[in-house]
Chain A
């Protein structure tokens, strides 16, 4: 079921087009990874979904309505935009209580979400004393207050330690498993690979890919093969003659592209070349992502 629908969304700030004719949907029961380099327009898109920024063109709906028309917003959508968005002088429980009563939710929901995020012990501590990880949990507790069908997380693992990252990852998976639609943004491909079922990739505000996770990985399967042989120079010539591209790898190995490992093996056998190693290198997700977004990163470092 489609829970979030973004149609032809364009957002300009002055002359800057931050989001450019973007369309995608977020479905129930899965984690949709919203991926793109810094400055690609992910946060802006999320703000438009939540009615915090007005679209220049296009429309966004949540559960079939504009966000501001939702009768009880917290029961439809829970959002974590910025874990720091808590007044440091307010106790965790009071923070959640203010949000809950704002939508007429029962007070027991506050204790329930505190329990679910493991914050019962610090409910009466001021949020200013919280570590980033605890603030992140407090933000997630706030998002869960209304038991919403849709959850939106903006860069939820930024700055967290490995334990915190694992907790959030498992948490998002369990939320999707409960049938909720989860939209989570990140600029780290590897993070998405372990969490998302579906990927929406954007760069410079434009849609680059909208695909299932498995298709995404399969589609970018063309890789290179690492070859190690005592006769590296001679074999490199034979590989090039067979149509492969060869460059020098680490520790006098050869990095071969354009030929599958099977074919390289056959070629070696035919010429009687001794192989020390023949390893297909799966392209890393980061590589796939970098390749996909190369043209759309905002600022590129110059390689000396």
Chain B
């Protein structure tokens, strides 16, 4: 027998992910919710456009409008990432997994890689799909709409897909650290919704962090109309990715050290 390698652990994680119905239900839900929100955000835009003020017309961003689905989609893809780890803690399967792959970094890395692959593909497909659906609905109402070749459009769509993949990785990190589905998802909701909602209440030093926060600064990547507050949206997204990397790093450390 040749020694077990990283590739074997990767293969095992792929078999685990694809053999659960919940994976496919979550992905179906991701697309249903994403496309549904995109349709709602653009379906009645005609009336809005015709009654808009001059300032509102200047800020008219058909791309960002069709991508607002990210708001809800980030929760669904977060659930997917969380479950990759917490479902194993809930059932005790994590012990069996570690008996098969006792090198803990290897096991967690395999989970991260497989989930990243799925989340990147799902995120990109979803963002392209919501963009195309939204623009088609806008065009049907005869209001200004965007095309993939337009200035900043491809960057917003691709950046949006990566944003979603990064949230999935953040959720894996939370799941590993908290070891419980409910705790991890509650924390995720707190981070992506509550903190931005309470943004005004935080001290000044924290305001700087909000420039790189999900649903805050990092979401600037979805816009094609320049926002003076975030002149380089990819920097804001990059900052969020660094934060996610830090959480994942902590996850690797505690996963290595803790008894299971």
Contact = CB atoms under 8 A, between A and B. Distances in A.
Given A47-B259, A102-B12, A104-B4, A91 B99 contact: no
Contacts of A103: 4, 8, 100-101
Contact of B8 (A47, A85, A104): A104
B227 to A, nearest CB: 43
Interface stretch (A93-101, A182-190, A259-267, A287-295): A93-101
Nearest to B87: A87
A51 B92 CA distance: 15
B91 A97 contact: no
Given A73-B4, A103-B4, A98 B16 contact: yes
A135 B87 CA distance: 18
Interface residues of B, number: 33
Interface stretch (B18-26, B36-44, B189-197): B18-26
A52 B260 contact: yes
Given A98-B16, A102-B12, A52 B98 contact: yes
Contacts of B232: none
Contacts, number: 107
B99 A52 contact: yes
What's the interface size class on A, roughly? 35 or more
Interface in A65-94: 67-68, 70-75, 77, 79, 81-82, 84-91, 94
Interface string B210-221: 000000000000
A72 B91 contact: no
A interface: dominant SS: loop
B1 interface: yes
A102 B260 CA distance: 19
Nearest to A152: B99
Contacts of B3: 71-72
Interface string B158-184: 000000000000000000000000000
A185 to B, nearest CB: 15
A73 B99 contact: yes
Nearest to B92: A85
Contacts of A82: 92, 95
B9 interface: yes
A98 B8 contact: no
Interface string A139-176: 00010000000000000000000000000000000000
Contacts of A217: none
Contacts of B95: 47, 50, 52, 81-82, 85
A94 B15 contact: yes
Contacts of A75: 1
Nearest to A102: B12
Nearest to B15: A98
Nearest to A95: B19
A53 interface: yes
Contacts of A89: 20-22
A54 B260 CA distance: 10
Given A68-B102, A102-B12, A84 B92 contact: yes
Interface in B56-73: none
B91 A101 contact: no
A98 B259 contact: no
A67 B11 CA distance: 22
B99 to A, nearest CB: 5
Contacts of B257: 54
Contact of A87 (B1, B2, B5, B20): B20
B95 to A, nearest CB: 6
B4 A86 contact: no
B22 to A, nearest CB: 6
B117 interface: no
Contacts of B101: 73, 102-103
B96 interface: yes
Given A52-B98, A98-B15, A86 B8 contact: no
Contacts of A54: 257, 259
A75 B3 CA distance: 10
Interface string A251-287: 0000000000000000000000000000000000000
Contacts of A81: 92, 95-96, 99
Given A87-B87, A142-B96, A104 B2 contact: yes
A99 B91 contact: no
A102 B10 CA distance: 8
Given A52-B98, A72-B2, A102-B9, 7 more contacts: A50-B95, A51-B102, A68-B102, A71-B3, A73-B101, A101-B12, A103-B101
The 7 closest A-B CB pairs, nearest first, are: A102-B12, A85-B92, A94-B19, A71-B3, A53-B259, A68-B102, A98-B15
Interface of A: 47, 50-54, 67-68, 70-75, 77, 79, 81-82, 84-91, 94-95, 97-99, 101-105, 142
15 contacts: A51-B102, A52-B95, A52-B98, A67-B102, A68-B103, A71-B3, A72-B3, A72-B4, A74-B99, A84-B92, A85-B95, A98-B12, A99-B12, A103-B4, A142-B96
